[in-house]
Structure 1
């Protein structure tokens, strides 16, 4: 990890700028964890807090399991039942927990850049992991998606054609996946969605952009579907859920346009019948539950790298 980037030996804030070697090193370590090779006392005596200001199932639970499997003491913070409901700031909350001896913080926040801002106030011995902030980044999701692709398709990403489909505009997952795919030298990155749900801020630089899902799926090795994030979007960006599914939903018939051995991914939670049909989500080409499993291994690798380093 290189201190000149926003990934430092102390924090994991984003995958933007992470060198390929550093990214691959985390994936190799995560693969070892996925195979059961790890020290259950690696983080013995270290306190880790999951500091979540937004709801979460997969990310929070997998970080909790990851820390526990490495022997850490885990505190789970729930904003709805904490002093934040009385007006305490996120910074004051973090500083008070630091004073109790917490060394690792896994933070989710609805505000773009919130975790990076908090990292600037952390004590020298404290490490922060961005578990998703606003639309900015979700680096461990990007890492687990790359581990899942690596397991399915091998280490050479230059041979791959990957399509990301759906609500990229509001997706921190898409941003982290794009950063990781670029870092790993992916042969062709396609992005498909309605014009109203694609960003115009440079996020899609170097991607093949399409508004035609049938064309975008032709010959791809992996289709990464995104959740339609209705809670983050202004009204009117999508005419209706039925129309969205008609134009951008992945069905078994549509999937036949991809390579015969193509895999399907989704970060969850899924809107079944909107961005993906049941027969695809639960079908033989789906790696969705593998992604969930890999999330624990990746988060173990990140916590070990930051807190044991």
Structure 2
């Protein structure tokens, strides 16, 4: 597999293989020697044209622990801020002998375009493209669920996972639905109708508008960030009303199973998605 652009690119076996490898790498990271020579001599570029903290730092740390040479590229402080196109940026990276590019971009489909452009010969990993997908976040979430609920092995067969909130604008939700269902989990999307995308009925998940009814069934609860920066209209009356019906508060917490886990991709709007 040369690129990772979408969860749809992964077979069931490939997804499990990645999770198994991540499990072994986590054991290495817990040991006294955290660095491996796997990517020595390789050049990895973090091409983040949209703001990021956790994802960018995670990719940088992972590449360095595998002994790669890492170049961090951001829109601010580069020629992109002067209007340089993604094509011109790709040509520059190719001329530098880049082996792999991790790209985050505000435009859906940008990672696919870069991977299949004639100006890029290296591998491309999608670290989030618009509202389309975020496959590595989904792999991390599946790894977390498997670690805490499945003993770190096998698939997610029989697990009930609830994804709550702004599904409409969430690339995390899209990738998670595809991956978690591929691994055998039962996924339910819990959101107001205005925050569900057109065609959601074709997704491998069920839909519910009643958080209180669904929460006692869940093994894993994923709260999504309300992406107000992507909203150019009113999708719910008030923040207070949203929190009342779709926020995780103390009362709802008591409805969860004792061993259930709570997840959030971050950054969090405290007091909105989860009570501060």
Distance of aligned partners of 1:218 and 1:22 in 2 relative to their CA distance in 1, 3 Å threshold: same
Root mean square deviation of aligned Cα: 1.5
Number of residue pairs matched?
269
Are 1:239 and 2:237 counterparts?
yes
Give the structure 1 partner of residue 271 of structure 2: 273
Give distance in 2, aligned partners of 1:85 and 1:124: 21
Structure 2 counterpart of 1:65, from 61, 66, 69: 61
Query: Deviation string for 1:73-122 (max 9, x for gaps)?
Result: 11110111111122210121011111011111000000010110111115
Secondary structure at the aligned position of 1:81 is classed as coil
- Contact map agreement 1:218 1:257 (CA 8 A) in 2: yes
Q: Which runs of no fewer than 5 residues in structure 2 stay unpaired?
A: none
Is residue 32 from structure 1 mapped to residue 35 from structure 2 by the alignment?
no
The TM-score, its normalising length taken from structure 2, stands at 0.93
Unaligned ranges ≥5, structure 1: 1-8, 279-309
User: Separation in 1 of the partners of 2:118 and 2:45?
Assistant: 14
CA distance in 2, matches of 1:190, 1:66: 32
Supply the distance in 1 between the matched residues of 2:203 and 2:134 (Cα, whole angstroms).
Answer: 19
State the 1:218 CA deviation.
2.1
**Residues 18, 183 of structure 1: 8 Å contact kept:** no
Which has the higher relative contact order, 1 or 2, with Cα contacts under 8 A spaced 6 or more apart?
1
Partner of 1:47: 43
Deviation at 1:139, TM superposition (A): 0.5
Q: Deviations over 1:162-218 (max 9, x none)?
A: 1000000000000010011111011x2111011100112246534221111101212
Q: Structure 2 residue aligned with 1:190, among 172, 188, 191?
A: 188
Match of 1:256 among 245, 254, 257: 254
Distance 1:264 1:13 in 2: 27
